[in-house]
Amino acid sequence: MKSLGELCEFIVDCEHKTAPIQEDGIPSIRTPNIGRGYFILDGVNRVSDATYDAWTRRAIPEPGDLILAREAPVGNVAVIPDDLKCCLGQRTVLIRPKRKDIDADYLCYLLLTPALQADLLGKSGGATVHHLNLKDIRALPISDLPELDKQRAQASVIKNYDDLIETNRRRIALLEESARLLYREWFVNLRFPGHEQAKVIDGFPGGWRQKTVDEMASFLSRGITPKYDEAAPGMVINQKCIRDGRLNLALARHQSKEVKADRLVQVGDILINSTGAGTLGRVAQVRAPIPDCTVDTHVTIVRPLDVDCAGFLGVALLEMESVLSTMGVGSTNQLELGRANIGAMCLSVPTGVLCKEFHDLVWPIFDQVETLSQTNSRLAQVRDELLPKLMSGEIQV
Cα 358 from Cα 245, distance rounded (Å): 19
Q: What is the mean pLDDT of residues 78-89?
A: 94
Neighbours of 382 (CB within 10 A): 10
Of 90 and 352, more confident: 352
Cα 239 from Cα 141, distance rounded (Å): 37
Closest by Cα among 353, 369, 367 to 306 = 353
pLDDT of residue 101: 94
For residue 332, is pLDDT > 70?
A: no
pLDDT of residue 99: 93
Per-residue pLDDT of 93-129, as tens digits, reads 999 999 999 999 999 999 999 999 999 988 887 656 6
pLDDT of residue 41: 87
Per-residue pLDDT of 169-206, as tens digits, reads 999 999 999 999 999 999 999 999 999 988 888 778 98
Select 209-349's CATH number: 3.20.20.80, 3.40.50.12280, 3.30.1280.10, 3.90.220.20: 3.90.220.20
Select 2-145's CATH number: 3.90.220.20, 2.60.40.420, 1.10.230.10, 3.40.50.2300: 3.90.220.20
Per-residue pLDDT of 362-371, as tens digits, reads 999 999 999 9
Of 396 and 11, more confident: 11
Beta-strand relationship, 242-243 and 234-237: unpaired
Q: Report pTM.
A: 0.85
State phi, psi for 13 to the nearest 5 degrees: -100, 180
Domain boundaries, the chain: 2-145, 146-195+352-397, 209-349
State phi, psi for 46 to the nearest 5 degrees: -125, 150
Alpha helices in the chain (DSSP H): 49-55, 104-111, 114-123, 134-138, 148-183, 213-216, 310-319, 321-324, 339-343, 352-392
Cα 325 from Cα 272, distance rounded (Å): 10
Cα 85 from Cα 26, distance rounded (Å): 7
Instruction: Band the pLDDT of 319: cuts 50, 70, 90.
Output: very high
Q: Do 146-195+352-397 and 209-349 come out as alike in CATH topology?
A: no
Per-residue pLDDT of 290-301, as tens digits, reads 999 999 999 999
Domain 146-195+352-397 carries which CATH code?
1.10.287
**Highest mean pLDDT out of 38-42, 71-75, 307-311:** 307-311
For residue 396, is pLDDT > 90?
A: no
DSSP 287: -
Q: What is the mean pLDDT of residues 363-392?
A: 94
243 has which bridge partners?
Answer: 246
